[in-house]
Every structure is written in structure tokens, then in C-alpha cells.
Amino acid sequence: MANKAYQFRLYPTKEQEQRLAKTFGCVRFVYNKMLEERIQMFEKFKDDQESLKQQTFPTPAKYKKEFPWLKEVDSLALANAQLNLQKAFQHFFSGRAGFPKFKNRKAKQSYTTNVVNGNIKLSDGYIKLPKLKWIKLKQHREIPAHHIIKACTITKTKTGKYYISILTEYEHQPAPKEVQTVVGLDFSMSTLYVDSEGKRANYPRFYRKALETLAKEQRILSRRKKGSNRWHKQRLKVAKLHEKIANQRKDFLHKESHKLAKRYDCVVIEDLNMKGMSQALHFGQRVHDNGWGMFITFLRYKLEEQGKKLIKIDKWFPSSKTCSCCGRVKESLSLSERTFRCECGFESDRDVNAAINIKHEGMKRLAIV
Ligand SMILES: [Zn+2]
């Protein structure tokens, strides 16, 4: 299954505009209410993490009794406000974002609704939305018949224009591509990988600089008194840096995986193995910080989209100790030996030798499959 979103301009009537304004307002209201309640919960249980974990998240349904006018708007929009707040908290707890903020009137005017029992329909320049009936839209492109509409997000811009983003899902099975070009990748902790042609994927300089800054700011944070004003301020700084670094890393991983998926029909990798783990220990960094897992996810879908292949080879395959020229396997090879030398006279960069072995192993698999 694949997803694709289509964006169109909406032209609501005056009456529909009022209803939309009401929905934006109710979504914001419910979001803020739930946030307020969450904050109270945190305060109540701040010294009792166990009880806090057991508290359930407030639901919009609860507010409908107290504020009956909430019933006038799309209930799915309110349910999505709850999901958005939950997501905001998850990001906060994982350190990817700051503490969720209250939405004021200047916040983005937008809400999302889902398709349930044919409540959303598209026909003849109009779209039918819950509680709004048919709204006119400018559909400048067709949504293919095999795409199924899953959700819609309605947004009002600062200049008063309305847009709808229609999220669709569709079956996508490209024809398998005949394999002509193969590359092997050797995981590397310090860069991202070394390939069988001797190329290294190097993180950009600004990224490495940002990592250094993060380490420095984290040291400052660890020296501050936990819970103090200065600590909170520093924590926010660190959270923002984390977010920036995560985005830079993601961009880089997208670019690298795109290049490989464009150039090769088949990419062979090693399952993240003991070698990766020992390298991680050596560099004092966690393997996931390096982004390898995310990189493989991107690479896999970019290849599969084109009917190309990603082959993972066994983690016990001795890619580093094997000579890529004659096939002899060395008894031992320490991490500090950067050049691979074999009795047969073959000499190569250690990582390139490993990447060539990975490529060969993958090609053997291709022949079998
Ligand atoms: Zn050899």
C-alpha cells in the first residue's frame, strides 16, 4: 500500500465558511482543554510517576456534555485534535520537541477528518464533508479510480483562502526490474557506509558541527540543578537542537538513499551485526544515532517503488575478514587495522574490501532467487 495526497482549493459558501470557522474554533478549544487537563494531571502526580502513567488521556466526548455546542461540528475533527495532542506529547517525551503549547487564535486554522462509512464523497467539482454537505472545489487533477480516500485536512490560510488536502491510499506493485547494477554497502559508524566502489557517504560538515554543539549543550544541562529555571531553559535549548539535528540527518539519509536507488537495481547490505555493535562501543555512540535503521527503511521503499531490490545478508557472514580477491578468511582482524592485506597479495581499504564481499554475497543470493 502507498499513500498520496492531493491538494485542491475550496470555495465554501458564506454559511459553510461560518461552519468551518466554528470547527476550527472547536478543535482549538478541545485541544486546549485537553492540554490544560493534562498539565493539571502532571502537577497532581508529579512525584508519582507510576500513577501518572495509569491516567487515561481526556477524550473530546467528555466535553460534549459540558459544552453542547461541540456537537454541532464534525466529531472526527475533535477526535483528531486528541490524536494530535497525544502525538505532541510523544514528541516531547522522546525529546524531539518542546512541551506542547496552547493554540491561540493566531494558530494555524485547520482540522482533519476521516472517511467513515462513505461520509466523504467527491463528485462533479464538489466534495461532501461531514456537517458541511457539498462544498465546491477546483479539482485541477483527477484522483485515479483505484485510490481510496482515507482522510481530509481543511485549512484556511492567513489571506482567507481555503484548501483541502485529500489523503489517499492505493495498491502499488511495480513490475520487478531486471538486475543489471549491484552495489554492496558496508556499515560504518564514523560515516554512514562505504560502498563496493570505494565511495564513502559522509555526513555534511554542518551536521557534524551541530552534533558537537549538542554534546556541549548537554554537558551544560547536566550541570544545572534539575527542575530549576535555568535547567528548564537549557532543556528547551537541547530539545530544539535535537530536533534540528534529527531533521538534518533525515535530509541526508533521504538524499543518500535516493542516489543509490536511482543508480543501482540492487543494493546489498549486512544485517546490523556484531561488528556494528563493537564499532559503536569503540566510538562511544549508539548505533541508532548513526541513522542506519532509518536509512535502510528509506532505501528499501525507494528501491521497491521502482521494482528494485534490497538484499540483507546474514549477520554472521565474515565480510571484514574475507579477502574479496581470493576468498581466504583471516583468523583475526582488529578494528585498528584499516588496510586489509592478504597472503595472495591483495591489498585494499578494510571497509571497501568488506563492501565488495557484501556485494559478492548478495550476487550469489540473486543467482539462487
Ligand atoms: Zn586474498
Going from the Cα of 344 to the center of ligand 1, the distance in angstroms, rounded, reads 4
C-alpha gyration radius of the chain = 27
How much is the pLDDT for 368?
A: 67
Q: List CB contacts of 132: < 8 A, sequence separation 6 or more.
A: 12, 16, 19, 20, 74
The string of pLDDT tens digits covering residues 60-76 is: 888 888 899 999 999 99
Greater confidence, 97 or 213?
A: 213
- pLDDT (0 to 100) of residue 282: 60
For residue 329, the CA-to-ligand 1 centroid distance in Å is 8
User: In this predicted structure, what is the pLDDT of residue 286?
Assistant: 54
Whole-number Å distance between alpha carbons of 156 and 111: 10
Q: Which of 111-115, 269-273, 281-285 has the highest mean pLDDT?
A: 111-115
Q: Which residue has the higher pLDDT, 7 or 278?
A: 7
**Tens digits of residue pLDDT in 330-363:** 988 887 888 999 999 999 999 999 999 999 999 9
Ligand 1 mean position, distance from CA 369 (Å): 28
d(CA 280, CA 289): 10
Average pLDDT, the chain: 88
Phi, psi (rounded to 5 degrees) for 171: -75, 130
Residue recorded with cell 563493537 = 278
Among 42-56, 109-123, 286-300, name the most confident range: 109-123
Total residue count of the chain as it appears in this document = 369
Please check whether residue 96 is in contact with residue 239, taking contact to mean a CB–CB distance below 8 angstroms. yes
Q: Nearest to residue 113, comparing CAs of 195, 217, 20, 240?
A: 20
Nearest to 249 by CA among 290, 287, 195, 193: 290
Least confident of 62-76, 152-166, 235-249: 235-249
pLDDT in tens, 187-238: 887 788 999 999 999 888 898 899 899 999 999 999 999 989 999 999 889 9
- Which DSSP category does 142 fall into? P
- Cβ-contact 290, 281 below 8 angstroms: no
For the stretch 281-304, pLDDT in tens is 565 555 556 688 889 889 998 998
Reduced to 3 states (helix: H, G, I; strand: E, B; else coil), residue 349 is: strand
Residue 179 CA to ligand 1 centre (angstroms): 28
Distance 338 CA to ligand 1 centre (A): 16
Which residues are catalytic, by number?
186, 270, 351
- Report residue 203 as a C-alpha cell: 555526513
Amino acid at 6: Y
Q: What is the 3-state secondary structure (H, E, C) of 244-273?
A: HHHHHHHHHHHHHHHHHHHHCCEEEEECCC
Report residue 170: phi and psi, to 5°: -150, 155
Task: State the DSSP string of 74-95.
Answer: -HHHHHHHHHHHHHHHHHHHTT
Report the chain's terminal Cα–Cα distance, integer Å.
24
Contact, 320 vs 336, CB < 8 A? Answer: no
Helices 292-304/229-263 angle, 10° precision = 40
pLDDT band at 31 (very low <50, low <70, confident <90, very high): very high
Alpha helices in the chain (DSSP H): 14-44, 49-54, 60-66, 75-93, 205-223, 229-263, 274-283, 292-304, 350-368
Sole residue written with cell 500500500: 1
Q: How far is the CA of 340 from the centre of ligand 1 (A)?
A: 9
pLDDT for the residue 327: 93
Decide which of 272 and 186 is more confident. Answer: 186
Q: How confident is the model at residue 369, as a pLDDT?
A: 58
Confidence class of residue 160 from pLDDT cuts 50, 70 and 90? Answer: confident
- With a CB cutoff of 8 Å and minimum separation 6, the contacts of 100 are 35, 85, 88, 89, 92
Beta-strand relationship, 182-187 and 266-270? parallel
CA of 274 to the centre of ligand 1 (A): 23
Instruction: Calculate how far, in angstroms, residue 359's C-alpha sits from the geometric centre of ligand 1.
Output: 16
